[in-house]
Structure formats: C-alpha cells, structure tokens
Structure 1
Amino acid sequence: MSDPLKLASEFPSADYASWRKLAEEALKGAPFEKKLVTNTLDGFAVQPIYTSDDQDDATRLIHEVLNATVEPRETVTGWDIRQLHTHPDPKATNAAILEDLENGATSVTLKLDAAARNGREISSAEVGVDGIAIHCLADLDAALEDVYTNLATIGLDAGAAGVPAAVLLAAHIANSEGADEAAPAFNMDPIGTLAATGNLPCGAQDAVDHAANVAVELIDLFPLATAISVNGAPYYNAGATDGQELACLLASGVTYLRALTNTGMAVDQAAGAMVFNVAIGTDFFAGIAKLRALRMMWSRILSASGAEDATITINAVSAEMAMTKVDPWVNMLRTTVTSFAAGLGGADSVTCLPYDHLIGLPDGFARRIARNTQLILQEESNVHRVIDPAGGSWFIENLTKELAKTAWSKFQSLEKSGGILSALANGSLKTEIETIRNAREKRLSTRRDPLTGVSEFPNITEAKVECETPDLEAIVADAKCRQTKFDGTVGTTLASMIEAARNGATIGHMFTDLYGTSASTRIGALPAHRLAESYEALRKRSDAHKAKTGTFPQVFLANLGKVAQHTARASFARNFFEAGGVEAISNNGFADADGVANAFAESGAKIAVICGSDKQYAEMATDVAKALKSKGASLVYLAGNPGDARSDYEASGIDEFVFVGADVLGICGTALDHLLGAQGEK
C-alpha cells in the first residue's frame, strides 16, 4: 500500500540559490544586503537565513565544548532561581527572603546600602540608600534569621567593601547549622567595582591581590563557595556591545585567575572559586549566543592554563540597560525574554529583576512575578531539560561563532595593551564604550531600535506605579541599637577578621583598618545608561508640566478628509509625539483648510501636525499650513516624508516633517522647548 501522506515530497527540494533569487525578486531592485542583512554593533553581519552549508568544524565544536562543560544534574534540578533584595531594613528583608524561598526562589543576593558599599559608618547619610543597611554581624543575622544557608545560596553585592562584607557572611554561616555544606557566593569584585564607580580603597592591583588572598581562605573554610565575581554588567549597562562585555569578562577573569594562582591555588580550584555575572538584554538570540560563546572561550583559556576541568559558573541577570521606568509593566515581557535566553544559554543561576526595579522597592507582587517567570520556564516549559538546546541551529551556531570571534579579538587587544585594569585606568575602554553608546543613541532616536511602551505605543496617561517609601530614620535608629562598641584590632587573616566581626567590628571599622584613608584609586567610571533614558527625560518634563497645570503639552492633529484617508498618518503622528510626552488632540478629520484652522483655534493648542494622504497633501497641504499659521499656530508639522516637495511645503509655513526614520528625540525635544518655555525644566 502506498503512503497517502506525501506531504512535501511532491514539491521540488529547496536550496539557498533558489530562495535568494525569489527574495531578490520580491525586493524589486532594493539591495539585498541593505534590506535583509543585519549589521550588528559588534561589526559582523547577520544573514536572513542559514543552511547546513553554513555549518563547519568551528560551529560543530561549539556544541561539543558546551556538552563537556555543563553539569548533567542541571537538566534535572534546573538553574538556580536567584532573587535580588535591596530593602534598607534588614528585618523587612528577612521577611521577604523567607517568602521568596518558600515560594520558589532557591537563592538570594543581598545588595548592601551605599554607606556599607563605600566602607562608611552608620553615621553616614548614605545608610539605607540603594540597598540593605547591613553594617555589622547583628544586621546580617537579622536579615538571615531562619534562613538555612546550607540549603540556599546567599550572594553579596557589596561594592568596594567586598572583603569586609564577605567576612560578615563567613562569620554568620560559620555559626550556622551545616556550615560545611554551605555554598555562599561572596562575590568580591574590585575590578567590576572600579569600572562601575571609578573608586577603590587602594591600588587596583593591590585590591585584586587582596581579594585573591582572602578568597583562598574563604574556599578553605567553605569548599563549595564561590569567592570572586567576574562582573560584566558594568560594561553592558554603560552601553557596551555583547562582544565588548564578553571581552571584558575574559580579561577580568584572566586577571583574577592569575591573582588566585599566584597565591599557590591550583588552576582548577581557582577557576571553581569564580562566578561570571553576565547581563542579558532583550535581543533573545544574542543572549543565548553570548552565554554559549563565554562558556566556549573560557574553556579555551582554562585549557591553555593547564586546567583539567573546564567547568564555568555563570549567573545571568536581567540587564538594567534594557529596562524602563515608563510603562514598567512591559518590563515583565523584557525580563521574560532575558530569563528565557539565560536558561537556553545554559546559565547556572538567573536573577530576573522585578518589573518595578528602577522605580523603587519591589513589593511582594513584583517579586512573585519575577520568580514565577522562571518557575514557569522550568516547570511548565521544561527549558532546562536539555543540555545546550540551541545546539545544531545553524543561525545560533553561527551567531555564537561570530560573537566569539569578535570578543576574542577584543580580549586579545585588551591583553596586548596591558589588561583590563590598564584599559580602565587610561580611559581607553570608557572611550570605546561611549562610541558604541552614541551609536545606540542615534538608532534609538530614529526608532530604528524601537522600545515598546516608550518610543513605540507610548501611554502618557498611564497610572504611575507606586513603591514603598521606607522610614530611613527608624531604620538607622534600629541599626544603631544593634551595634556594639568595638575597640579591638581587625587583623589581616580571615580568622582574625571573623573574630573581630563577632566582637562587633563594623564594615566601616574593618574597611578603615584594612585600607586606611589615603592610598585610594580614582578613575573615570563607566556611567550606567539605559536605552529609554532620553525618552524618559522628555516624559519627565511633560509630567512636571501636567503636575503644575493639569494638562500635558499638546499638539493638534490637523486631520484631512475622512478617517480612512488620514488615520494611518494620524496614528503615526500620535505615536511619534506622545513618545516625547506631547499629547495629541485628535478628531475625525476636516474637508477644507478653514475647518481645520477653526478647530485648531478652538483647541487651544500652539502647534499642529497635518495628517493625510499624499494626494491630499498635493491638493491641500499648503492651504492648510497657511490657514493654521493665520490662526496662531507657532509651529506646523507635516506627517510624511516631503521628498522633492520639501521647499514648497516650507515656503507655505510648514516647519518640520515627521516620518519613519526622523529624529524623534530631537523633534519632540524642540516641541517641548517651544511649548513649555521657561516652565520646562530640563
């Protein structure tokens, strides 16, 4: 009996040449390379389609390496779901931690406040600012009360005070049940701190060496721990490309590896003492490829260093650069993408930031959404069940290869010029990243890179998300009550520092004893930027005007003819101006110039944008523009690219044109300047 299900067997087999011919016919003369090939900021091209012909020995090797460096147990347990905590009150943090761990999170990161991160005492005005007020062992004990540190990894984010904070955590865990089974992430990272803040309490290389020496003792005490964090987030959040971040991760990792092995630690043990913290943006496939490329390149470095085990530990975190303050609900989608990419890319732990992370202190709902995003990916989508699920995909394999080639070249350049510390100190890395940041800004300004809810589909009337405002005075008073007077010496060994912490030594006290107050490092920091910040600055001006006057700055849509004739460009114009905080006043359209002008005058608006079809523009635009100017319009825009008619339109009184590819930030900024005048704070 013949098979009745022939499916595609009756069709001719497809090949790239046939597809390319059909694609070029569909383009009708438009250049293939310009329309269908994507050129990345890293400098390589992404083709619209890949086939088995694009597979080579290099791409096959990628999957083999990843298979060899991923722990099979992770396909059973899944990655570690890590929750970030920043509430300034240790007691409130404790309640939140317990809630998270009881409901699906498997580990936590404690971000210390600005005072502790800079080694300052409880008297500092930075206590409770941007983190938890943990300054002594009693504070940490309060934050981790009833938390089983042998079951849940506790990570730290302590900035320049990485060593004193690690001492507090070591002292706490050493007093806990099952201390020998604990796997804390101490996350000492002087290189990342220097990049992000521009400050270290001593010489940069001295800080690296000191962290390495303490790391050796921490690993001796807690064999399952990681002591050093190799953090790529400061570079990515400053505007770096994926390739630049990878290069900085490799250069930082090699610097730490040298420092650790210089202490006498075996290279395998040194590599195991490190965790790579990688920022994942909303380019889904690039996020997968970035983690795969990192795993492959670090394996190569370890192999060259004589390591027998090429395993790498990766923590992936939602990139702050990709998150927004306006329309923050869309952040739920963004962090779903980042977490999904991290899972498919093989991250060992994932930190999904709450949707309101940039606005204030996340509440229970925001944290629940963050952890449930990962739980759904694991428990319902089974993302973790396969080692390297992207393996064999011709596109992702080639993207991984190109990204690895680019990053490796940049890494070699960094090493040749003296390493990551030298590149930070002389400002060359900052300049390189700023160049990319400026290129990003141009793409954002013209909406070539769209931001949903910000530059596309904005909702300027949305209700603002409200976050808790903590009582810092009460938190500081509570913290002072927990502190005890310490008159002893801190010492330089881990054992002596732990003993000092148990006797009441604060982070500030240890920081001063360890580093003094004078031999510090100061360089130009890598300022953090977000993709949405320029649009948000315009929206902030608009919101301030609304708060003062009761209305947003407005533009009148001078719609021509019937709805079907003007709706496309009217919708475009609304989207265009409201992205910059200028509210659009719409209508059902007008048959003639007088009707448009009279309605404009009644609206009370100062500026107008003409919206209609090309045919209507040819017949009416000049008359409408003159009529609008006669009724007091101080600025008149036209929605559409004027082409050869620009000079005629400008002669009739049209001041500017809004169209696909126009400078949204520039045009909306000028409109706000015009509408707000002296009231418009910048």
Structure 2
Amino acid sequence: MDRSSNIILNQEINEQNKFNYKFKEGERHSSSNASASMTWTRLWTSRRLASAANSSTTRRLLQNSSHVFPTTARISIVAPFGTATTSSGEYTKPASVEEWEGLATKELSRSEKTVDSLRMERVTPEGVAVQPVYYDLEGRGEMPGVFPFTRGPYATMYVHRPWTIRQYAGFSTAEESNLFYKQSLAAGQQGLSVAFDLPTHRGYDSDHDRVVGDVGMAGVPIDSMLDAAILFRDIPLTQVSVSMTMNGAVLPVLAMYIQAALEQSPEETEDAVLAQLKGTIQNDILKEFMVRNTYIYPPQPSMDRVVADIMGFLSTKMPKYNSISISGYHMQEAGADASLELAFTLADGLEYLRTAVHKANLPVDIVAPRLSFFWGIGMQYYMEIAKMRAARRLWAKLVKEEFQPKNPKSLLLRTHCQTSGYSLTEAQPMNNIVRTTIEAMAAVQGGTQSLHTNSYDEAIGLPTVQTARVARNTQLILQEETGMCDVADPWGGSYMMESLTDDLCDQATEILREVEEAGGMTQYIASGMAKIRIETSATRKQGRIDSGQDVVVGVNKYCLDSQTEPQQDVLQIDNSKVRQQQMDRLEKLKQERDNEAVRLALEKLEQSARLTRSTSFGDDPNNLLKLSIDAAKARCTVGEISLALEKVWGRHVSTSSVVQGAYGASFTTRSNNPDKNNDSKDEYDAILKVVKEFETTEGRRPRILVAKMGQDGHDRGAKVW
C-alpha cells in the first residue's frame, strides 16, 4: 500500500469514527415459548464516507484489506471512537479521569492503598514510573470500570487485586480429590473448581449398569452426601470460593454442596451459612444442547424449572454465589470461532435473564449481578483479547437496552477463563506448556477475573501432580514476575486492538440479530442452526489443519519421528477399584439411612416437577433446589433425585446431523507445508476418486459408522473424523 493511499484510508476511517450512531428498537414478538425478538439498526449519517467509498482508490484498498470496513447500512450496536451511548442511543460524555478515580477509591476503600499510592508504587528498574491506567491516547474516552466496560469491569483491575487462580480438578475418588484441593490451596491456589465424573453429570449413581467404564475417569464421582462430605472435608466452605461445573444433575450436586456447608457449621443458622457461601455453579443447560451433550431433561423444563428455581433460590438465599456461568468455552472446544462463541454465549445470557425476569418474575437487579461468563482461550492471541473486550461492551449495552437495570453491577460481564484443551497436542506434549502460557497471557490481557491453566499432558490423560503444579505455577509466574498486574487494560487505545474489538462487535451483532429473528436462543437451538454453525466452523478448521494451511507445530509441521519422541508418564486410574468403592459406600448408605424419609423427599420432588406454575422464589416450599437440599439431607442419591424428575419430564434424546461441503473447501489449492508426507490436495483428490468409483459400482456412496462409547458428550472428533 503506497503512502498516499494509506493517508486516504486513514482519513476515511477517522471520518467513520465520527459517525452518529443511533439505535432503533424493533417490535418485540412473542414466540411459542414466550421468547423475545429484538432488532437493532445502525444508521450511517456521513456523506463523506458515501462519496469516498465510490472512489477507485478506496474500493481497491477495501477489497485488498483483510479487514472489512462498512460502506453501507449494517446491523451493529458498536459505539464510535470517543463516545458512549445511553440505552436510547444518545451520546454521553466520555469517561473522565475523575470518574475513574472515584471508582478506584471505592474499590480501594477496604485496603490501605489510595489512588496516589498506586501511581507511586510501581517503578521499573530503569526508573520508569508505571501508571495504574493509561487513557485518552486516541480520544476514545473509555476507562476501566466505566460503561460500557470495554476496558474491564473494575477500575483498578489487577493493580489492586490479581485474578483468582482457580484450577479445575477432580479425579478418582472424593478422598484423593480432597487431598489435592487442600494441597493446592496451601500452594497458593485461591479457589476450588470441581470436576465431576461423567456418570454424575448424567444423573447416574456409580452402580448403574450404563456407567461401568466411566466412574472416576474424568472427574470425581459424587453419589451422595457421604461423598460430598469427604470431598470438602477440612475445607471451610464459608471461607473458600467453590466453582462447580455441573449442568445436567445440577440440582442434586448443588444441593449436596450446600448441605455439606450446613453440616460443617451446625452452630450457625441456615440463613447465616448460606449468606456466606461464595462461588459459581455453571447451570448453563443451553450449551449442553448445542455442544457438550451432558443434559438429562428436555429443554423446556430444564429452562423453566431447573434453571429458574436455582437462580431464584441463590439470588435470594445466597447473594455471594453466582447462579449461572454462561459458557462459551465448550463452544470454542467444539469448534466455534471467536465471533460465534461471542454471539452465542451472549445470546444464551439474554435467554437466561429473560427466563429469570419474565418467567420467574425475579427483579433484574437481583439476578443480573450474579451472572458470570466462561470463555475458552485459544491460540489466536490478539483475537482472544479482543473477544473479551467486545463481550463486555456488547453485554453492557444489551442488558441496558432491554432491561433498564438500576444497579450498575447488572451491566458488568465478569468472567472465568480456561486455556484451550483443543490446542493441546499428544505429539511433543512439552510444547503445550508454551501454548498454555500464551493462552493464559491472552486471558489476563483480556481482563479475566479468574483463570484455569491446563496441564501440558491433558491431551494424553488426566494431569499428574507434577504437570498440575507446572500449570498452576504458570499463573503464579505471570502474577509475580512479569508486571502484568501493574496496569489496567494496557491495550486501550491500540489501533489494532480497538479495530479488532469493533470488528468482533459487528460480527457478533449480526449473529445476534439472526438469533433474535428466530425467537431467541432456545428456539435457535431447537431449530438445529446453532449446532450446524458450530460444526461447520469445526469442520473448516480441521480442513485447514489437514491441508496444512493452519500449522500445528509437531503435528503437521516440524514433526519428530515417533520412535525418537520421549515417552510421557500418564496418570493411571484403576476404574474398577474406584467403582467398587463407590458401590460399597452406596450399599452402606442405603442400609443406614431412613428410607421412609427418602421416599417422602423424592415424592415431594416429583410432585413439584408436575407443577406448571413458577416455583423460583427461594422461600417457595416447592422450589426444586430447596427440595433437593431436603433430599440430600435425607441421604437421597444423585441418581434417585435425578430419576424422580425424569419420571415427570423424561430424558432428552438429541438428533444427529452431518455438515457437508465445509471440509473440501480447504483443499482447493496445493499445500505449501513442506512437512506434509504427501501433498494434501493430491491425497484429497485421490479419496474423491475412490468415492466416485464406489458410487458408480454400488449405486450409493460408502457409509462409515463412527461410534463413541461411554457417557462423554463431546463429539467434535466424531463430527470431523
């Protein structure tokens, strides 16, 4: 690009940044499940761009650019540089330094620090003073902690308090997991994140015939209060934040955590104990129907009763506990690109808020502040940072536009992040340490509130004690040795980062509009479109890897001979021994408990499941979480509680689909990857030839049976195989 052309393009972009953006809210249409539909319109008002877009120079630059600049009316809710907007779309003044200082002072009020002390305490060995925040380098007028929160949900971010190191773990038995948790807390981990085994996710007890090979293999098995009490033994639940990834069997598992906390503090009242509990329950069933597939019940009762009752109970009884963690992580792991992950996750969030506000009749300012989000962080470093910045901006504006909350905390998008599991490779696994570090840096630079870093051997098996230590220490090194905690949003004002953030906002808003026109995310999922779009993205990615377009070091380039590659130690778990231990404990439980109390508790759950009215308020005697706590206290099992609800609602069965045409598009040109054993396009063409010959001979194309055994619902490998 020559210098004069660059100047012209920059002038046009600067003019674009001055455009007046307005919003037009479309009519809200009711669908069969009372979902709402919203449309947004961006109106371009600058004649300067319209004329400039017609120039041959501009057209040539736009056609040759990897970034698409808008030249016609488009759907968006992205504010221009240097402005913020109210819910009606009017301009508001840019955030001021004084406004940031006021928020920072409030956040620092519980410590001995002041804003001035933050400015004075960080000086590099070279004598350069590092400010806690930098601002107004581009006239954007955005500050951390100020609407629309692009630069972070809090004014001081890590300058005052670093992100929480929250390692997701659980394996083999409750005893072993408990020991691991206590060791991790002693070594610097600041919260627990519990991984449950697949039978627990699917609502089966360990003695069920369907789960013989899955017990204790991908997480800790929890069948009853006996297991829960052991899992949290000597861990003060009123003091330690506990995050739990659970969706299908969320009612019994959450109930057993709560009951374990109550039994730890018998001297305190129930309300006093509940008010102290802090952490997050995932409770994100919509993404299960899209990608993870560890659901139990059909979508409608899952949303209208299970999700709503949990949100209602936690919002009123456990104000420090996040009632839902809306997950984009599993979408990314299933193959969604950044714009799909961003849009679908925010669409899920809107659906949950609508369920709480419109169906459960909960005030938005009670529910919204307790929502949290969960992003996957992959190897596209800059894109991942931009995704998190765009998410905060979009969420704040979407919630403000639709729900008009009074509490500013209702607009905050707070998030947990986890480094990618998909990016980890079985080949040359030590390379995964570098991958995880890069991804952890992106999560931190994007402004996460807590983080899990994967162990480098997780592409092979469960992490060992050594590899888990390396993963945890990765975060400690970032916190203690790099200076990353010294500045809030160092990317603010970066030409590249602000442009990427705006572009992602635009793309995500287009997808959001499509979802809203379908009647909301529940309807969009039911139509199958969400799953198809994610699977298409995954198939394209696999095609790019197989064709050599996307390089994975050690897999399709810079490979080692398998005989020269060092062997990696793998954690071995005796599944049969673990299952037998669980079965023995279940037998003991059923012999010692009051079985009449069990029968009554399960009967009440079944009766509540038959109700058609809302039972979401925490004080409602028919609230499903309240009744599940009673059942846990009576020593009902996870399987028994799940079955009581299944008798009424049934067990959901999904339909399967196959993406066509996406994979082959990656093989239209020859690979430039010298490490491919054979030219990928020639290989692909040879396969097509064989398929056509078979079709000519047999009168049909060949069929392949891809079977995935066990309870694991992740199906990306099967879909792109």
Q: What TM-score, normalized by structure 2, do the two folds share?
A: 0.66
Aligned to 1:86: 170
In structure 2, how many angstroms separate the alpha carbons of the residues matched to 1:437 and 1:458? 23
**Paired residue type of 1:192:** K
| 1:109-120 mapped onto 2 (5 Å cutoff) | 109-120=193-204
Determine which of 271, 275, 280 is the counterpart of 1:180.
Answer: 275
Aligned to 1:226: 322
Aligned to 1:208: 303
Alpha carbons 1:195, 1:526 under 8 Å: kept: no
Aligned to 2:549: 448
1:100 counterpart = 2:151: no
1:147 counterpart = 2:235: yes
> Matched residue of 2:301: which SS?
helix
Task: Give the drift of 1:382.
Answer: 2.8
Task: Give the drift of 1:372.
Answer: 1.0
Question: Cα deviations across residues 125-160 of structure 1 (Å, max 9, x unaligned)?
Answer: 232232211111221221221222233321112231
1:282 counterpart = 2:369: no
> Matched residue of 1:353: which SS?
coil
Q: Which moves more between the two structures, 331-340 or 54-63?
A: 54-63
| 1:234-273 mapped onto 2 (5 Å cutoff) | 234-262=330-358, 263-273=360-370
In structure 2, how many angstroms separate the alpha carbons of the residues matched to 1:320 and 1:664? 31
Alpha carbons 2:171, 2:196 under 8 Å: kept: no
Alpha carbons 1:153, 1:183 under 8 Å: kept: yes
Aligned to 2:667: none
1:429 counterpart = 2:530: yes
In structure 1, how many angstroms separate the alpha carbons of the residues matched to 2:379 and 2:657? 21
In structure 1, how many angstroms separate the alpha carbons of the residues matched to 2:193 and 2:182? 13
> Matched residue of 2:249: which SS?
helix
Give ranges in structure 1 of 5+ residues lacking alignment: 1-13, 22-30, 46-53, 529-570, 578-656, 671-680
With over 3 angstroms needed to count, the CA separation of the structure-2 counterparts of 1:469 and 1:525, relative to structure 1, is farther
Determine which of 404, 422, 425 is the counterpart of 1:306.
Answer: 404
Larger radius of gyration: 1
Aligned pair count? Answer: 519
In structure 2, how many angstroms separate the alpha carbons of the residues matched to 1:187 and 1:478? 28
> Matched residue of 1:317: which SS?
strand
Aligned to 1:511: 642
Task: Give the drift of 1:199.
Answer: 6.1
Give ranges in structure 2 of 5+ residues lacking alignment: 11-58, 72-79, 85-137, 266-272, 606-621, 660-671, 689-705, 707-720
1:196 counterpart = 2:285: no
Q: Which moves more between the two structures, 426-435 or 353-362?
A: 426-435
1:165 counterpart = 2:296: no
In structure 1, how many angstroms separate the alpha carbons of the residues matched to 2:658 and 2:367? 31
Task: Give the drift of 1:36.
Answer: 8.2
Aligned to 2:119: none
> Matched residue of 1:576: which SS?
coil
**Paired residue type of 2:640:** H
| 1:323-338 mapped onto 2 (5 Å cutoff) | 323-338=424-439
Higher strand share: 1
Question: Cα deviations across residues 546-566 of structure 1 (Å, max 9, x unaligned)?
Answer: xxxxxxxxxxxxxxxxxxxxx
With over 3 angstroms needed to count, the CA separation of the structure-2 counterparts of 1:72 and 1:514, relative to structure 1, is farther
In structure 1, how many angstroms separate the alpha carbons of the residues matched to 2:8 and 2:632? 69
Identity over the aligned pairs, expressed in percent?
23
Question: Cα deviations across residues 50-88 of structure 1 (Å, max 9, x unaligned)?
Answer: xxxx96647926655325732536432211111111312
Question: Cα deviations across residues 416-460 of structure 1 (Å, max 9, x unaligned)?
Answer: 112222222221122222332232233222322111121121123
In structure 2, how many angstroms separate the alpha carbons of the residues matched to 1:454 and 1:410? 33
In structure 2, how many angstroms separate the alpha carbons of the residues matched to 1:282 and 1:119? 34
Alpha carbons 1:98, 1:147 under 8 Å: kept: yes
**Paired residue type of 2:281:** F
Alpha carbons 1:247, 1:410 under 8 Å: kept: yes
Determine which of 554, 558, 564 is the counterpart of 1:457.
Answer: 558
**Paired residue type of 2:645:** L
With over 3 angstroms needed to count, the CA separation of the structure-2 counterparts of 1:430 and 1:33, relative to structure 1, is farther
Task: Give the drift of 1:315.
Answer: 0.8
Question: Cα deviations across residues 10-65 of structure 1 (Å, max 9, x unaligned)?
Answer: xxxx99848999xxxxxxxxx9979985469xx999xxxxxxxx966479266553
In structure 1, how many angstroms separate the alpha carbons of the residues matched to 2:536 and 2:281? 33
Task: Give the drift of 1:667.
Answer: 9.2
Question: Cα deviations across residues 342-366 of structure 1 (Å, max 9, x unaligned)?
Answer: 1111111111111112211101111
With over 3 angstroms needed to count, the CA separation of the structure-2 counterparts of 1:441 and 1:572, relative to structure 1, is closer
Task: Give the drift of 1:392.
Answer: 0.8
With over 3 angstroms needed to count, the CA separation of the structure-2 counterparts of 1:389 and 1:268, relative to structure 1, is farther
Runs of 4+ with >6 A deviation: 18-21, 31-36, 525-528, 667-670
1:497 counterpart = 2:628: yes
Aligned to 2:124: none
Determine which of 127, 136, 140 is the counterpart of 2:215.
Answer: 127
In structure 1, how many angstroms separate the alpha carbons of the residues matched to 2:478 and 2:198? 34
Aligned to 2:224: 136
Alpha carbons 1:238, 1:526 under 8 Å: kept: no
Q: Which moves more between the two structures, 447-456 or 67-76?
A: 67-76
In structure 2, how many angstroms separate the alpha carbons of the residues matched to 1:44 and 1:35? 12
Question: Cα deviations across residues 620-651 of structure 1 (Å, max 9, x unaligned)?
Answer: xxxxxxxxxxxxxxxxxxxxxxxxxxxxxxxx
Determine which of 160, 183, 187 is the counterpart of 1:76.
Answer: 160
With over 3 angstroms needed to count, the CA separation of the structure-2 counterparts of 1:499 and 1:224, relative to structure 1, is same
Ranked by relative contact order (alpha carbons within 8 Å, sequence separation 6 or more), the top structure is: 2
Aligned to 2:505: 404
> Matched residue of 1:468: which SS?
coil
Question: Cα deviations across residues 60-119 of structure 1 (Å, max 9, x unaligned)?
Answer: 266553257325364322111111113121111111111111112112221211111111
In structure 2, how many angstroms separate the alpha carbons of the residues matched to 1:147 and 1:240? 37
Aligned to 1:387: 488
In structure 1, how many angstroms separate the alpha carbons of the residues matched to 2:537 and 2:577? 44
Question: Cα deviations across residues 286-325 of structure 1 (Å, max 9, x unaligned)?
Answer: 1100111111111012212112322222111112222222
Aligned to 1:352: 453
> Matched residue of 1:276: which SS?
strand
Task: Give the drift of 1:462.
Answer: 1.0
> Matched residue of 2:180: which SS?
helix
**Paired residue type of 1:247:** A
> Matched residue of 1:321: which SS?
coil
Q: What TM-score, normalized by structure 1, do the two folds share?
A: 0.70
